[in-house]
């Protein structure tokens, strides 16, 4: 499932973050990927574990944790601290798949990457190219969202960032492990949740709405990995 989550960051938050990021020292993005990724990656990133990156990343985490739509779709269990990248002057990231496991700083063990997230920090008219292209069984889907909006998509997907030919593309990106590992189950829970919300708004807490709500939570009990 790919999902557009609008207005994750306010316009004020975007302006503040961009002002800080435009003054930042960026590093070669190839330092943060494996051998396959390094062959097709040409961009810049903030130092992964710097205090500055962690400070901005916490703003992103607070924002996504406050989004009901994000929670309903992702059902996050653990989230990798957000990172930040920048593309300009023809920079690109060729077709690749994200690594299946990530370390979380300060935590033991590994995090399984079920879902990938890109949070856009500049508007589409600020740059040419730079589309996030996600490939699934239905073909390739190009994504270029307003500043403050987020795209959520399966980490199993092949994807790429097309070359930026004008301006600069600045984003935050991160991965998460979901409470529900299976993508089909997550989709069913999301669809059920969204329809329950619509029915409750139209009808109130009727016996039928309450029954569907019980089904939702019982499925969560069955499928979730707490």
Return the structure tokens found at 198.
């619509």
Measured CA to CA, the distance from residue 105 to residue 220 in angstroms comes to: 28
Of 178, 173, 177, give the one whose Cα is nearest residue 48. 173
Whether the pLDDT of residue 198 is over 80: the answer is: yes
Domain with CATH 4.10.860 in the chain: 183-223
Spatial distance between the Cα atoms of 14 and 12, rounded to a whole number of angstroms: 5
Rounded to two decimals, the pTM is 0.95
Instruction: Please give the structure tokens belonging to residue 89.
Output: 């002057």
Q: Does domain 3-178 have CATH number 1.10.10.60?
A: no
Q: What's the whole-number mean pLDDT along residues 1-27? A: 96
C-alpha distances in angstroms, 54 versus 30, 35, 51, 82, 165? 19, 25, 5, 8, 29
SS (HEC) of the chain: CCEEECCCCCHHHHHHHHHHHCCCCCEEHHHHCCHHHHHHEECEECCCCCHHHHHHHHHHHHHHHCCHHHHHHHCEEEECCCEEEEEECCCEEEEECCCCEEECCCCCCEEECCEEEEEECCCHHHEEECCEEEEECCEEEEECCCCCCEEEEECCCEEEECCEEEEEEEEEEEEEEECCCCHHHHHHHHHHHHHHHHHHHHHCCCHHHHHHHHHHHHHHHHHCCC
Domain with CATH 2.60.120.620 in the chain: 3-178
CA 77, CA 85: separation in Å to the nearest integer?
24
Per-residue pLDDT reduced to its tens digit, 71-87: 999 999 999 999 999 99
- Confidence category of residue 95, pLDDT binned at 50, 70, 90: very high
Q: What is the pLDDT of residue 168?
A: 98
Is-contact 78 104, C-beta < 8 A?
yes
pLDDT band at 30 (very low <50, low <70, confident <90, very high): confident
pLDDT bucket at 136, cuts 50 / 70 / 90: very high
Q: What was the pLDDT predicted at 54?
A: 94
| Residue located via tokens 């990248």 | 85
Cβ atoms within 10 Å, residue 137: 5
Q: Does the 183-223 domain belong in CATH 4.10.860? A: yes
């Amino acid at each position: 499932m790919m999902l557009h989550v609008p207005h994750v960051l306010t316009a004020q938050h975007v302006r503040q973050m961009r002002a800080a990021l435009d003054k930042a020292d960026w590093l070669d993005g190839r330092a943060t990927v494996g051998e396959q990724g390094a062959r097709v990656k040409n961009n810049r990133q903030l130092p992964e574990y710097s205090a500055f990156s962690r400070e901005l990343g916490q703003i992103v985490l607070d924002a996504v944790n406050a989004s009901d739509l994000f929670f309903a779709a992702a059902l996050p269990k653990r989230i990798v601290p957000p990172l930040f990248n920048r593309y300009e002057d023809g920079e690109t990231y060729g077709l690749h798949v994200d690594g299946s496991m990530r370390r979380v700083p300060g935590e033991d063990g590994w995090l399984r990457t079920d879902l990938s997230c890109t949070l856009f920090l500049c508007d589409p008219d600020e740059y040419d190219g730079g589309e996030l292209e996600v490939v699934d069984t239905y073909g390739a889907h190009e994504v270029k969202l307003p500043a403050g909006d987020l795209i959520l998509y399966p980490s199993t997907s092949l994807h790429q960032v097309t070359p930026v030919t004008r301006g600069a593309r600045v984003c935050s990106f991160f991965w998460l492990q979901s409470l529900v590992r299976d993508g089909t189950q997550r989709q069913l829970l999301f669809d059920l949740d969204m329809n329950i919300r619509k029915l409750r708004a139209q009808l109130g807490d009727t016996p039928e709405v309450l029954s569907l709500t019980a089904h939702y939570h019982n499925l969560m009990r069955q499928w979730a990995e707490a």
